[in-house]
Structure 1
């Protein structure tokens, strides 16, 4: 069978016969059955010619708005890159021809806007609809399959903890041991105005967040929030202000947008349990992260709590060391240490001799006796110290 088909194809090629029907086989057969399809010869001829009136261009990632030949801006402006022979017809810079009317994508317009703002490839096709007598522009793209990555691989190198709020995203970078790195960042958005303005604000905030993650090759940890059943009066009673606050948070939109945009950029998203992240983050991390040049909010501290939960660490910091007025002074550090750090839970080694220059010989003999201190555990070895006169 294959040999017979090869012989026929070679015969057509040698004879210059092309067996391709522009517009489809169905339109070609309708020419011989005009009465059955209720068409005149002129109407059929128009459809036949329209099937050849189209312009298409494949997209390319990295180009401005994802396509260099047919470019569509976020405002809906359509421009064509003319060839050199038609450059005299250009009405814009760089040999481009800008169409008069703007386009609007009602179906999956949000996904299209996310792609062109990230300069991802989008293919366009301009064609004429004979029945409606209107020109249409169709956008298409390929969605890469989402890959499941092991959690250990995601945690390697740290990640970014993101706290979702009504008007901004509070993010803080953490290393693989749960230590906050650098300064916290806030990505603000304004949800007032019309739907297009709100959509653009959310998209702009997520774009800046994803660019930060791509720059450092990090994953993103975010709360798995769902206020669908938690904004009713039966849940919060007369707390009208709080119910209005959580109702205005674009939780589902942010989550759907973040997942789709991250999949295009190859960024992994980790969803964690949102229970008590803001409360415990403010309790254990807000005050210790204060510096003369940094005043973190409870939302920034919640980002640390979310990141530590995604890394598998406890949100609570280590127990603070004893006060300065106790004999052994400061103990172990409160900052998170690496898992392989030796002696990180041990006490400070006893140094023989007086603790201060003004102390006389013989003082501080019981400094190594940890039974006398307010500790949660007894020492592993009792220390016996003999002082010479």
Structure 2
């Protein structure tokens, strides 16, 4: 190994999900129902835009008094509960933008540090795996020097905005806003884009409230699927039920986690709802969400009692291998492929389908734990560090690490499985070094990713990634020489005699050849002795 190895973090059991969100379609809506939903969403969306503007204007000076003042201003135009939902959503959106600004600021600082370091090195200086080297030629050095000045100016502006508490938020999404200037490339008309933009800026979400009827007073869904909405004060004339409520014609039925949702609704426990519109399909959806109590984490030893399945995340598939309690791979490796091209919904469906197959296989094997890498590519996909490796940066950026980790933890918790997170350092390198060649035979080709899954599983179990370990120094046959009991690269087979190796049995200095040849009986004498017959001598008879 070149260089010092970094310290490895201990494996740990990933905590379960803290909330649940399920979605279903609002069907059998009449034209009047859709018109009411549009008018309510547009009215509350306008209030939400104004409240977000007021929150961004306050910046770091915002406090509980300002929050209460904003809520009092919104209450006459909607209701107390609608105003509370709008202000809480505004606060969450501002906090999210604040965290994004901090991440952008840290990325700029890392880029400036990298550029300064590389510009300080001589041209063509070699770098290491963690520290990049100098630039290849004078032309590239000059271009990076200009980029350093650009990043320094940008960093100064972002740092001043961060200290002032200024954030940049676009209700409806910045990507959709920029798409307005690229309609031919997106194959959209202006009317289609306008419909998407308006639907993204609507506000139709209400927080749950325990103790109230069916867990929500603003958007209420009964056990039978009846949906009723508390209309804002200016739209109270559209109500078709008592107390200013509007009851939709369609009914709701949650297929996923339906019994769990029905139990919460029957017990009047808090359930939050969000209604949104998909203009491309012309459909309305409702999302129900609620919090779950923090479950007690299963001990690591109990989770690994039945073995573990090591999983290696790649750009187009999941490589998995089952390991027994002793860290030995059993059976054949499995591969669960997915395609991350296309729309967001398609990519999300591909990830869910691959994880579903993985979890079903784990449950069929009787394994209760799945080991994955605790990946974090925030420092490994910067442009300044891997400027020329554009394909590598795209590959790393395309890995669904966050989405897959959240999906895996949630789905595994629903199936009673445990997710063990391990340190990702050297798993691919050491797995290929110690496991890829020994497990490759004529009938099975072991890939580097399969070997990495074994390394991940063994690290979760607390075993070293090496197949064998060296004996104590004083127990080696040659005293203090270098000797290990590492298995050979040939495929494993039955126990048999050791192969006859030419030469001395030990690594000591061979004896003197001349002295050995002088004391050794020649082969001719041995042949003559072998051909002679044995004759017993006559016995001497004495009195």
For Structure 1 versus Structure 2, the TM-score category normalised by the shorter chain is 0.5 to 0.7
Q: CA deviation at 1:251?
A: 1.0
Q: Which residue of 2 aligns with 1:266?
A: 416
Separation of aligned partners in 2, 1:195 and 1:52: 32
Equivalent residues of 1:144, 1:264 under 8 A apart: no
The root-mean-square deviation of aligned C-alpha atoms, in Å, is: 4.5
Match of 1:194 among 312, 337, 343: 343
Q: Which residue of 2 aligns with 1:214?
A: 363
Equivalent residues of 1:319, 1:334 under 8 A apart: no
The answer as to 2:339 corresponding to 1:163 is no
Q: Describe the superposition over 1:290-325 as per-residue Cα deviations: whole angstroms up to 9, x where unpaired.
A: 12221010000000000000000100122699xxxx
Q: Which runs of 5+ in 1 are unaligned?
A: 1-19, 25-36, 71-122, 128-133, 322-330, 336-347, 350-354, 357-363, 374-389
Equivalent residues of 2:371, 2:420 under 8 A apart: yes
Q: How does 1:1-389 map to 2 (within 5 A)?
A: 46-48=241-243, 65-67=256-258, 137-140=286-289, 143=292, 145-215=294-364, 216-318=366-468, 334=487, 372=508
Separation of aligned partners in 2, 1:280 and 1:21: 58
Equivalent residues of 2:368, 2:416 under 8 A apart: no
Equivalent residues of 1:54, 1:125 under 8 A apart: no
Return the TM-score normalized by structure 2: 0.39
Partner SS, residue 220 of structure 1: strand
Partner SS, residue 443 of structure 2: coil
Q: CA deviation at 1:371?
A: 7.7
Separation of aligned partners in 1, 2:458 and 2:272: 44
Partner SS, residue 172 of structure 1: strand
Structure 1 residues 238 and 174: CA distance shift in structure 2, 3 A: same
Q: Which runs of 5+ in 2 are unaligned?
A: 1-211, 218-232, 262-270, 276-282, 472-483, 489-495, 510-543
Separation of aligned partners in 2, 1:205 and 1:225: 18
Equivalent residues of 1:126, 1:135 under 8 A apart: no
Q: Which residue of 2 aligns with 1:94?
A: none
Bigger share in helix: 2
Q: CA deviation at 1:57?
A: 7.2
Return the TM-score normalized by structure 1: 0.52
Structure 1 residues 255 and 45: CA distance shift in structure 2, 3 A: closer
Q: CA deviation at 1:263?
A: 1.5
Separation of aligned partners in 2, 1:199 and 1:151: 30
Separation of aligned partners in 1, 2:360 and 2:332: 16
Structure 1 residues 156 and 44: CA distance shift in structure 2, 3 A: closer
Q: CA deviation at 1:238?
A: 1.9
Equivalent residues of 1:170, 1:185 under 8 A apart: yes
Structure 1 residues 50 and 304: CA distance shift in structure 2, 3 A: same
Q: CA deviation at 1:147?
A: 2.6
Structure 1 residues 135 and 285: CA distance shift in structure 2, 3 A: closer
Equivalent residues of 2:311, 2:370 under 8 A apart: yes
Q: Which residue of 2 aligns with 1:33?
A: none
Q: Describe the superposition over 1:63-92 as per-residue Cα deviations: whole angstroms up to 9, x where unpaired.
A: x65559x9xxxxxxxxxxxxxxxxxxxxxx
Q: CA deviation at 1:271?
A: 0.5
Separation of aligned partners in 2, 1:294 and 1:211: 24
Partner SS, residue 384 of structure 2: helix
Structure 1 residues 294 and 180: CA distance shift in structure 2, 3 A: same
Q: Which has the higher contact order (CA 8 A, sep 6+)?
A: 2
Partner SS, residue 234 of structure 1: coil
Equivalent residues of 1:157, 1:175 under 8 A apart: yes
Structure 1 residues 53 and 299: CA distance shift in structure 2, 3 A: closer
Q: CA deviation at 1:182?
A: 0.5
Separation of aligned partners in 2, 1:153 and 1:21: 41
Separation of aligned partners in 1, 2:433 and 2:367: 30
